[in-house]
Amino acid sequence: MFPIRDHNPSNSTPFVTYALIAVNVVVFLSYWPGAGDGRAVMGFFNTWAMHPNRISSGVGWHTLFSSMFLHGGWMHLIGNMLFLWIFGDNLEDRMGHGRFLLFYLASGLGAGLAHVLAAPYSAVPTVGASGAIAGVMGGYLLLFPRAKVDILFIFLIFFRVFSVPAWLMLGAWFGLQLLNGVGADPTTGGVAYWAHAGGFVIGLVLCLPLFLRLGGPAFWGRTHGRPPHPEARYATTRSRIPTVPRKTVRRKSASAIPIIRRKK
């Protein structure tokens, strides 16, 4: 289950959101063509990825920032940028470009520290914009809990798109991070669930001053929990495949069958 779009395009052009997506893509392309050489990539990550054990030792602080712009593969990059594209524009529209950039970076730094607290002695390199984007999702949940989000639900061979309120999708996502974080060992690699959960909470908390300045619950009352502009309506296109009408077969009843009588 993952989101594919929301129904709430922003009123202004989200320059920072677009710039962050572009920077992440450019940085990824700068080192990933050499992914065939595993040693080269690991050497790159050794310098720029975050290692919790180094942060715990008081070194490598710059990697809290640099690791936010690194990704471990194409699907990692595409998934993160999809989430940023869906949820970033409305938050940037409400915060303003400069404040949104500071908010994004602060959420990413906080998410990295949350991962360090969860696994302070782990030597596994950590990369990804997920923590910062989780902060964007937390802020989105606070400001626009009833915004419509389209999610693609996949179960084996079953594919279906549903429109759900943001609080349901984001709440379920946050709950999964907590559930998986409890059952996972953060020192063995995999997904940094506590970075996701930490970034989400940090983003929500950082949005509280803005939420209160807008009026708190009264802001929800004015906007009905959605971005304060008309939502987009996505019309489904009809299939151009011509339909073939079914042929009907008329059957004669026994009484309608003519009877031929012989003459005597």
For residue 7, what pLDDT is reported?
84
Q: Is 196 a catalytic residue?
A: yes
Q: Is 130 a catalytic residue?
A: yes
Res 207 pLDDT > 60: yes
Full-model pTM: 0.83
The tokens describing 158, both together, are: 């079953």
Q: Per residue in 32-74, pLDDT tens? A: 876 566 778 888 899 999 999 999 999 999 999 999 999 988 9
User: Considering 196, 224, 239, 255, which one is annotated as catalytic?
Assistant: 196
CATH number for the region 2-256 comes to 1.20.1540.10
Domain definitions of the chain by residue range: 2-256
Q: Per residue in 150-202, pLDDT tens? A: 888 877 777 788 888 999 999 999 999 999 888 777 767 678 899 999 999 99
Q: What does the radius of gyration of the chain's CA atoms come to, in whole angstroms?
A: 27
Following CA atoms 144, 147, 150, 153 in sequence, which dihedral angle do they give, to the nearest 10 degrees?
A: 70
CB atoms within 10 A of CB 102: 13
CA angle 192, 193, 197 (to 5 degrees): 125
User: Considering 10, 76, 130, 253, which one is annotated as catalytic?
Assistant: 130
Contact between 164 and 149 (Cβ < 8 Å) = yes
